[in-house]
Amino acid sequence: TPGRFMSLLSGRVALVTGASRGIGRAVALALAEAGADVAVHYRSAADEAASTAKEIEALGRRAVTLRADLRDPRAATARVREAHAALGALDVLVNNAGENAPKPFLDLAPEDVDEAMRLHVASVLAATQAFATLARTPGARVVNVGSVAGELARPASAAYAASKAALHSLTRSAAEALAPGIAVNAVAHDGEGDACEEVRPGEEGAGQRLRGQGGRGRLDEGRARRGACRAAPPARPQPR
């Protein structure tokens, strides 16, 4: 129900990378609507990030903007620590920052693959490791934004697709390594719809892909809410 959603993440703290626009912005706002304070990461879109933060604050939540180029994994570690210092103990990490620079397969250089891997894999690893040392556990959540491209042949986006495939594998490994204190999932968005890959160590069918319906390139309010629900830790016991 709308009322339950509004309090789903009450008192929680989230960091969303790539939150100045697009999917990251929608998820950041959905998390705030659900009750979370949100650290808004951006690379270069300072005005858009400030706008996202202003909307979060208008919902009565705290917000902070954090600038970093996550092609440097060390920056990912630093931003997690900054979010913790600014907003307190972290409950949710959404690794959304990404970039797809299509290039014909025969023109692809090793440097293109390296850059994609640093942004989509190495920085996610660094952020997740830092988060694991600072998160409130049990009940913390990591949500990695993957891509159906990681499961399909995309000759014009081979570096991007390969890095997203690696991210999906990293998600499964992280889920096993950090359970049971921290749950790790991947949500993959496709231009033709949505795909969600939920990693649940120890459960039959872990890594099953769920497909939903959606318009090309859009993340509507309902999907953002579902992403926020996936990030929601179990309710903490109330003191007696």
Active site residues: 160
Residue type, 187: V
Is 222 in a helix, a strand, or coil?
helix
What is the rounded CA–CA span in Å between residue 11 and residue 22? Answer: 25
Main-chain phi, psi angles of 166, to 5 degrees = -65, -35
Residues 6+ apart with CB under 8 A from 169: none
**Cα distances (Å, whole numbers) of residue 150 to 35, 71, 213:** 32, 19, 19
Query: Tokens 């920052």 identify what position?
Result: 97
Q: Which two tokens stand for residue 232?
A: 């929601």
Nearest to 16 by CA among 77, 83, 74: 83
Residue type, 103: K
For the chain, the straight-line distance linking the first and the last C-alpha, in angstroms and rounded, comes to 27
Residues 6+ apart with CB under 8 A from 217: 191
Based on the number of CB atoms within 10 Å of its own CB, is 93 exposed (0-12), middle (13-18) or buried (19 or more)? buried
